Structure 1
Amino acid sequence: MNITKPTLLIDENIVRKNIKRMTERAKRFNCELRPHFKTHQSQRIGEWFRDYEIDKCAVSSLEMAKYFFNAGWVDITVAFPLNILEHTTVNDLAGKIKLNLCVESIETVKALNDFLEHPVGVFLKIDAGYHRTGLAAENYAEIQSILEALESNHLITIKGFLQHAGHTYGAKGKAEIDEIHAYTTEKMIKLKDYFIKKYPDIIISNGDTPTCSVSENFEHIDEMRPGNFVFYDVMQAEISSCQYEDIGVAMSCPVVAKHADRNEVIVYGGAVHFSKDRIEKDGKTIYGLIAEEKENGWGDPISGWYVKKLSQEHGTIHVPDEAFDQIKIGDLLYILPIHSCLTGNLMSKYYTLDGEEIEMFRYNS
């Protein structure tokens, strides 16, 4: 494969192992696995999930739902608060597939009731501790009023309660991930128990990769909805959601300059390729790690090598003294992304280790 510019590589073997592992975990916990496809955003990679008997998915937008419907997916949850301005798309999709939507306000439900033409499932989006958005899990009165408004529409099936414990991404290891999982799960179970008598078919849908990857207590969780696990990344490895050997994507970037006086190597590969997500480790701000090159792919991060700065197109790599002279202009470095979801979205395509192009969803396609 002739790489001449920043190129996002995917190791199909690693990705398939990640899918298989998560599928087996869901079966062990007697949970439905509804993987969130916002990470890979690819019809081709979506097909790999079918090999493990996955037939439903989650997405982050109605447009992405259309993209996967065109690949044969007919049971899709849009795990993002409903944008009522897209009512035409809602009705178009709802007439063709099992479409699940998320709501978190009575205003949204009133608008949905006014424009809905076909059956849909509806989840209430719950805030169980992340505080990004959603209804407070303890606000039973407001939740009750929304459920009653939904119940008034014969086209709506109330699916249950959906939450994303995204604050696990800031955990300091498995123990803290488990602590967050126990806290949010308790809130969701209490919420379900409060309403289960009136709504006997409601479910709990949990969706973050860290808890789904390493936590053990899913006894009362009905559906797992992780996304990042398909690739993982540096952030997930650092919080112990995975091992570095589980990271299924790496960016290959050409070396374009060297500065021996400050131990810096410049690569063609910047914020427009990686995003500016970062981690703090050992007093350093890190925007990516450089992996060792293997005969067919990449290995573990090289000790002491890291991306210390990103501008639009430039990536600045710190390299220890003893290794600096090993690098030549024109070399390719394998860089593990901090956040694979954003990196994939920015690059808009992948290449397998054999050089095959894998296309992705694009909003402007």
Structure 2
Amino acid sequence: MFNRKPQDANFSVERLFKDIVKAFPPNLIYNSYTSKFKSRGFWSRLYNTVEAFCKQGDVNHITGDVHYLCYLMSKNKTLLTILDCGNLKRLNGIRRTIFYFLWFWLPVKKVAMITVISESTKKELLQYVRCDERKIRVIPCCISDDFKPSPKAFNSSNPVLLQIGTAYNKNLPKVAEAISGIPCHLRIIGKLSEEQISQLLAFDISYSSVSNLTDLEIIDEYIKCDALIFASTYEGFGMPIVEANITGRPVVTSNILSMPEVAGNAACLVDPYDAEDIRKGVLKIFSDEDYRKTLVANGYQNARRFKPAIVAEQYVELYKEVYLLSMHSK
């Protein structure tokens, strides 16, 4: 397994595969390598690529966003995980063209199999690259065993609404507009910009924020909240939905891309581009006790789909498939 060197405080990919690896069966022999250098600049990436070539095994699994590690590897022994296509949406011009060629077009041709974390990501990827769709397998993210059910009486007088993330796609300005005037406290996980602070003040939002939390501190934030608001405009998966599900908190999330797929019947789905629709969803969660209880019960059931052992088994079966493919190609 080949992993990137984490970029600053971003460890989402590392957390995902840490939980998967822990659930691998004891008879699976594997090695895990982390690139020596962060994925920045030509020479660092070249070193990482050569190092990966020298450490190849019977099956090579490239995780995270270091897709270029496959360039020198044996194609029939290599599989690549693509988490999303977000950068292709954000970049423009020549930068987008170069990124597309080096991170998508070429890697897709240089590996035997690709895994994505949702059907939504698979459909999106197939819009950008031409390949046999059977080459792309959907294996979801898993929920850490550190998350446990934690029932809590709903604070109907001043509910705490948890917002995970402050990046552009997390849609914080629209959420602030949506909940303006609703008695609640918005608890934000992530660093706020001056512009975001101004927007929160303009809508007279009662809020607090915190960043750089440990895994256990993040779990504690779910335990202390009354509901999760996750009206994101772009996700490859949407892990906070499942984290709130397993904790026992009702969820308001977006009705686009991967989020309905991940949430199933365990969330109130809203249009993330429509502040009024978000507002209706939040008010329904706050005012309808039976609806809240139904979402919580459905959430516990939904979270079972993403247990580490279930997800790890899917990867093990794919490793076997890639290994047999490499044997037959000799």
Same-fold call, TM cutoff 0.5? no
Q: Which structure carries more relative contact order (alpha carbon 8 Å, separation 6+)?
A: 1
Q: What is the TM-score when the length of structure 2 is the normalising length?
A: 0.34
Question: Which has the larger strand fraction?
Answer: 1
The TM-score with structure 1 as length reference comes to 0.32
Determine which structure has the larger helix proportion and give its number: 2
